[in-house]
Amino acid sequence: MTTQLHTPAVRVRDLRKTFYEEERGEIAAVDGISFDAVPGEVFGLLGANGAGKTTTLRMLSTVLRPTGGSASVMGHDVVDEGGKVRQNLGFYSASTALYPRLTARETLEFFARINGYPEDRVQARVDQLVDRFGIREYEHGRVEKLSSGMKQKVSIARTIAHDPPVLIFDEPTVGLDVMNAIEMVRVIDDLKADGKAVLYSSHIMSEVEKLCDRIGILHRGRLLALGTLDELRKKTGEHYLEEIFVKFVTEVSGSDAVVPGAFGQIDRPGS
Amino acid sequence: MIGTLLRNELRMLLRDTRTILIAVVAPLVILPAYILLMGVVDEREAERIESATYDWTIVGAEAEWGEATVREALSLAADSAPASFELTTLEGDAERREALADSLLRAGDLQVVVLARPSVPEDSLDADTPLLSLRYRSDSDLSRAARDRLSEQLRELRERTRDARFREAGLPVDRDEVAVVTAANVATAEDEGGRLLARVLLPFVVLLMLGGGSIIAADTISGEKERGTLETLLTSAAGRRDIVRAKLLAIIVVGLAVVLVNVLNLALYLTIGILDLPEGLALALDPAQLALLVLLLVPMAGLVAAALLLVSGVSKSYREYQLYSPVLFIAFLLPTLAAVLPGIELNSAVVAVPIAGLSVATSAVLSGDWQPLWGLAAFGSTGLTALFLLRRVEVVLSNERLISNAGWDEADFRGGAAQFPRHVLTWFLGFWVLFFLVSLWFGQTLGVRGQIVVNLVGVFLGGSAWLIHRYRLDPVPVLSLRTPGWTSWPAVLIGAPSFLVLGMGIAQLVNTYLFPIPQSVLESFARGLTLDLGVLQLVFFLAVLPGILEEIAFRGVLLHGLRRRLASPWAAAVACGVIFGLFHVSLFRIVPTGLLGIALAVVVIRTGSIYPAMLWHFLNNALALVPTEMGWIDPEVAVPGWGFALAAGGVVISYLLLRPGSDPSGAAKRPDRSDPAAGRA
Amino acid sequence: MNWREIGILYRHELRSALRERTIVVNGILIPIFLYPVMLWGMFTAVTFVQGLNEGFTSRVVVEGQLPALNTELRDSLATLPDLRIEDDVAEPRAAIAEGRLDAIVTFSPAQGDVGVLPGNFRVDIAYDGSETRSVNARDRVESAVDRWRSGWLEEMGDDLGLDVEDRAVFALTSENVSTARDVSEQVLGYMLSVFLIIMVAVGCFIPAVDTTAGERERSTWETLMTVGADRGSIVVAKYLYVATLGIVAGALNVIALMVSIGAVLEPLLGESGASLEVALSPMAALVMVGAASLLALTFAAAMMVFASFARSFKDGQAMVSPVMWLIFLPILLGGEGSDVNLSVNTAVVPLLNVSMMIRDAIRGVFVWEGIAITLGVSIVLVTVLLLLARRILSFEEFLTGSFDGSFWRFAKDRLLTRG
């Protein structure tokens, strides 16, 4: 564990992802971003909707294949060692749903096993999670019948079921009520204390401000700034993250309205 | 890993009580109920016809004699036949009565009208006897039954009369005691039962597997996509291959369970006697046969499951899956009927056809004609197809479109050109249907020339132009519009006639041993081809136009797409040939045209140019048509053995002579597949 | 109920259904393509089987000796083009079982009473009833012997002094007064009535599930329930939408089948001399459209009642399946005789009456009081079903889609106790 403190848990270099859309042509959703995340820190990706946060995180979770650049999780390359990467990763997002017909406990067992958690310790681990998230009273209820708050707890528990060193939370508080959102933030704090490397994406400034050790500001696929909150404050001279964000974004949009590549239609002769 | 996934799939399915209840349990009760009900309906209908009173009347010049004869005939079986005939007496003169009788027959008030008259020379009878003609309506069950009964009785009466006359004249025995024929069936009830089982077993099993597998298959990828659980699963450590295998196993398990439940259910109904086996049948299987059957079931189950999984993977939603499933059912059930066709033996090319081969193999096991090597081949062909489909599912699952809502993935867009190889087969399927429908719907109105023009110019040329436009392709590489090496020209002049002869020989062999075609069909086809056109028109419509336009479509656009899809140029050539063969609609022309298609594709690949292929195609068609059409050669003349040897030599020489041109734009060099600019202006 | 609202909602439903390109395209293309391809496959298979059967020569072994008088029978067997007499087959009985031989023909002199006739003999054929080839061989031998016997009897008749007229007694022929068109109408009448019912049902099936259970799954159900339109209007609009798609599916499939069937069946029937003639009168077409509408309206109502219970598409499918089974029931019953027309009695049975109405219309028979009763029965059925659907949706749990009990519990607890 101690050696890992010095090597980054997540390493991203010049990562790119290009999509193609019928009307708009080629779109650089992620356009050459680089960053590291080390164990015991929460790294925040801040950006508006469509800035490329989800695409970046999905590439890290090996669901999408990078178009260019490289990324690794705990030293495993996301392209070549997908399985190893996923074993070391817990991925939580609004679009990772739960199986409605399994009970809460079965869900946790399933995801612990499937992610390669040692078979003899699965039950102990699940018990531990059940206690930690207070799922005990409804552990045998089917997921489809749980309330959204309960579902969220089960969902977080399943994300860390196999005790991975790296966790990715993609807009985790979207659609949650205040109490649940606060609970989510508490959980992430706990995970950080456990020495996990946490990647956290959001467009809600206050959360990022409160939670993240380092912040990357993502805009139209590019990383405009990267640093601790203090560093960013120094750079811009603004105090609130909201203003920092706006400053960076308008700076780009003002001087360089079109980010190169973002709307380049390389493939339309005559257009 | 796979175990965990599999257990999870099955557990979720079992939780879904409503589906299980309706998809598995209910049919067990409903199916026999329907069979029983149908039996009752049939019986009632039979009884209705049996117990009906048939109204008849007599007309014609010999009406009196006729009436007496019919009455006598009917009285023969008065004790055995419950059906009763009632004579309707009509008023008026003979002509009026006949007209009235016919109109009553049409209206359904009479079931049969007996016309009794003296015979006339037009009847071309051997003897000058009176004639009874039974008028009936084949579109009425009652009328048909009345005719059958009456006819039977009259025949019986005639036989008896004849017997009596022969006896009177001094024949010492009855007429039916002369040269008596008895037929003894040496097949046991088990043999016949086995034969019946051989015919129905595979369709039955496949149907149940498809139905049973569908319960889980629909849910397993397309359902997960819809519910959003697929992304959860894909971000877990389980590899895509493991996921696919687990899902496949789950489908197989469920499918087999459904088969088993239904077989047991059927056995139960047979034992309690709700259902009956047809008379004179018995079933007996020895353990070795059973083991073989189970073994043969393995690739079948694998193929069904893989196909279901693929359809589930391709569909974006549960609903879309539902749309494709009928097509899947038909595609699977048709080949399982191979064993029903008479005379298809296990030791034939049929083993190479997935499913159909297994169908024949299972039938062979049951009828005792099992041959291990051929059985293994059938096992292999289906198994390999299953593995191939499985690979496709894996590819589908790694498709980012599943998850990313951007809709398109990389190769998908690149200016369309990169998308083209993927879509080309779909487009050609569309062309095929269009081509087929044109001949089906408008064949008669258009005439042969019209059809040729519509198909060649409209479908092939128009279709090619549309594809080139749609995908913004560069015509030069796509259509191989390059100069070939000069030796290619003599190569074509030698190759085309040689290949024509060789192809005829091969096609003949195939027709004799693999796909026998009835002589009548061949003849009627030959008649269809005989056109009342002058030789110039013939050459123009059947050689020049196809030579140019079919080449543009098949060896141009299609081959271009196939080469970018398939790694080996030979595979592309074969695929191109098979598709070309299918475009000749009639199954028995697939072999010769398919071979020609392969040869032409090889010509284009070797020379990098389409022009020699056009010339070859033109020569081929012209040589095949003109000499016979003009009466220079008798089509019945067989080619001697040395002719085939010579032709084979010609083909080899031609192959060696085919050369690409020295054009530096690289006709011989294969365009780089990864280079997106290759197909673009 | 507000017809303007219904119109808006109906158009909305149709539009979103038509937007889904894959489904629309495939829904239209599959029937158009499938029938010709299937028919082509059938045609090819039939030609193929014909070829196989023609190609089979029956292999028989002839045992025993014919009386000297009759050796020409043996010779005539040998000259049959599709029969080959095998000379050296060891253990012919085993050969039959193994499929190497098709039949053994044994001639023996007639014994006992029938032996009185000089030269009389008997023929025993051993064959394998489980092999088509073998059965064919038996038939070929039997008919050869029959032909020969008739000839012999004629000769004997001559010798005995019977003249031709005495031997013939009288001639018997049959004359079918039905035209090709009558027959086509009969076949089509049965086929199309069944086919139309199935296709309309299939056409209603997916939209019915989608527009209720599917919407709940996509959580657009609640959005719709919170709009300012009357709930009755929503139900009616959805219902009309489902029925529309059912009618369209039925019509498309029937047209696709009709267009292709004649062209493909022509060559098949060509050999038997029959031909398929189809000419629907405008009145028949009108009745068919009316029948399709009645079917669609009934199926849509029935399916929506059941689909209202479901919360997901899959669930909905399971719930609606029983309706499909019920639909097939009258088809089974409707297989009744070809000369039973719609009558006052049969017109009371739902669905069966519609199917008979279609059959009659194709055959050019219009029993107006039957049609009127059919119409009445269908309207009553639809009304009852619609009222039921409305009743179900008037309960909150169904409105919000949170009901998770079974159908039976609902029927017991709600419909019966309150009613």
Query: Regarding beta strands A76-77 and A68-73, do their DSSP bridges make them parallel or antiparallel, or are they unpaired?
Result: antiparallel
Q: Is the pLDDT of residue B402 over 70?
A: no
Comparing B149-163, B237-251, B314-328, C265-279, the range with the smallest average pLDDT is C265-279
What percentage of chain B carries pLDDT values higher than 70? 85
Q: Is the pLDDT of residue C53 over 70?
A: no
A252 Rama sector, left if φ>0, alpha if ψ -120 to 50, beta otherwise: alpha
Give residues 230 to 249 of A whose Cβ lies within 8 Å of B.
none
The predicted-structure confidence for A138-154, as pLDDT tens digits, reads as follows 888 888 788 888 888 88
Asked if C171's CB is within 8 angstroms of B132's CB, the reply is: yes
Of residues B228, B412, B681, nearest to A20 (C-beta): B412
DSSP state of C124: E
**Is residue B665 exposed (0-12), middle (13-18) or buried (19+ Cβ within 10 Å)?**
exposed
ipTM above 0.90, yes or no: no
Q: Which of A61, C67, C274 is nearest to B235 (CA)?
A: A61
The predicted-structure confidence for B284-301, as pLDDT tens digits, reads as follows 778 888 888 889 888 999
Q: Is the pLDDT of residue C68 over 80?
A: no
- What average pLDDT does the structure give for chain B? 81
Identify the closest residue of chain C to B43 by CA–CA distance: C336
Residue C270's SS3 state is helix
More confident of the two residues B587 and A113: A113
Q: Is the pLDDT of residue B526 over 60?
A: no
Measured distance CA(C285)–CA(A30) in Å, rounded: 60
Of residues C49, C260, C335, nearest to B440 (C-beta): C260
Neighbours of chain A (3+ CB pairs under 8 A): B
Q: Which of A47, A44, A9 is nearest to A29 (CA)?
A: A47
Comparing A92-96, B380-384, B516-520, C392-396, the range with the smallest average pLDDT is B516-520
* Contact present, C377 and C208 (Cβ < 8 Å): no
- What average pLDDT does the structure give for chain C? 79
| pTM, entire model | 0.74
Q: Is the pLDDT of residue C39 over 80?
A: no
Q: Which of A214, A209, A240, A217 is nearest to A227 (CA)?
A: A214
Neighbours of chain B (3+ CB pairs under 8 A): A, C
Could you tell me the pLDDT band of residue A247, with boundaries at 50, 70 and 90? Answer: confident
Asked if A22's CB is within 8 angstroms of B237's CB, the reply is: no
Q: What is the reported pLDDT for C419?
A: 41
Measured distance CA(C382)–CA(C399) in Å, rounded: 21
Measured distance CA(B629)–CA(B622) in Å, rounded: 10
Q: Which of B75, B87, B90, B83 is nearest to B53 (CA)?
A: B83
| Nearest-CA distance B320 → chain A (Å) | 21
Task: Please compute the mean of the pLDDT values over residues A103-113 and round it to a whole number.
Answer: 87
Give residues 69 to 98 of C whose Cβ lies within 8 Å of B.
70, 73, 93, 96-98
Please report residues of C whose CB lies closer than 8 A to that of B63.
none
Measured distance CA(B460)–CA(B458) in Å, rounded: 6
B300 Rama sector, left if φ>0, alpha if ψ -120 to 50, beta otherwise: alpha
Q: What is the reported pLDDT for C124?
A: 92
Q: Does C379 touch chain B (CB under 8 A)?
A: no
Asked if B237's CB is within 8 angstroms of A114's CB, the reply is: yes
Give residues 53 to 112 of A whose Cβ lies within 8 Å of B.
55, 58, 61-65, 67, 82-83, 86-87, 89, 91, 93, 95-102, 106, 110-111
Q: Is the pLDDT of residue B672 over 50?
A: no
| Nearest-CA distance B569 → chain A (Å) | 28
Q: Which of B10, B233, B236, B404 to mutate to test the interface with A (most CBs of A within 10 A)?
A: B236
Q: What is the reported pLDDT for C243?
A: 93
Measured distance CA(A231)–CA(B66) in Å, rounded: 119
More confident of the two residues B530 and B479: B479
Could you tell me the pLDDT band of residue A257, with boundaries at 50, 70 and 90? Answer: very low
Q: What is the reported pLDDT for A254?
A: 57
Long-range contacts of A119-127 (CB under 8 A, 24+ apart): A125/A161, A125/A162, A125/A163, A126/A161
Task: Please compute the mean of the pLDDT values over residues B534-538 and round it to a whole number.
Answer: 78
Q: Is the pLDDT of residue A271 over 50?
A: no
Q: Is the pLDDT of residue C273 over 50?
A: no
Could you tell me the pLDDT band of residue C363, with boundaries at 50, 70 and 90? Answer: confident
Task: Please compute the mean of the pLDDT values over residues C169-178 and round it to a whole number.
Answer: 87
Q: Does A125 touch chain B (CB under 8 A)?
A: no
Residue C288 CB contacts under 8 Å (≥ 6 apart), including other chains? C192, C196, C254, C280, C358, C361, C362
Q: Is the pLDDT of residue B81 over 70?
A: no
Q: Which of B216, B231, B235 to mutate to test the interface with A (most CBs of A within 10 A)?
A: B235
Comparing B601-605, C25-29, C158-162, C197-201, the range with the smallest average pLDDT is C25-29
Q: What is the reported pLDDT for A34?
A: 92
More confident of the two residues C69 and B213: B213
Comparing B150-164, B214-228, C85-99, C219-233, the range with the smallest average pLDDT is C219-233
Please report residues of B whose CB lies closer than 8 A to that of A269.
472, 680-681
Could you tell me the pLDDT band of residue B531, with boundaries at 50, 70 and 90? Answer: low
Asked if B235's CB is within 8 angstroms of A63's CB, the reply is: yes
SS (H, E, C) B422-457: HHHHHHHHHHHHHHHHHHHHHHHHHHHHHHHHHHHH
Give residues 130 to 189 of A whose Cβ lies within 8 Å of B.
142, 158, 162
* Contact present, A97 and B228 (Cβ < 8 Å): yes
Comparing A153-162, B563-572, C25-34, the range with the smallest average pLDDT is C25-34
Q: What is the reported pLDDT for B416?
A: 58
Of residues A61, A63, A110, nearest to B4 (C-beta): A110
* Contact present, B88 and B53 (Cβ < 8 Å): no
Residue B348 CB contacts under 8 Å (≥ 6 apart), including other chains? B513, B514
More confident of the two residues C189 and C411: C189
Q: Is the pLDDT of residue B666 over 50?
A: no
Q: What is the reported pLDDT for C191?
A: 78
Asked if C172's CB is within 8 angstroms of B132's CB, the reply is: yes
Q: Is the pLDDT of residue B520 over 70?
A: no
Of residues B21, B178, B318, nearest to C313 (C-beta): B318
Could you tell me the pLDDT band of residue C72, with boundaries at 50, 70 and 90? Answer: confident
Q: What is the reported pLDDT for B32?
A: 78
Q: Is the pLDDT of residue C58 over 60?
A: yes
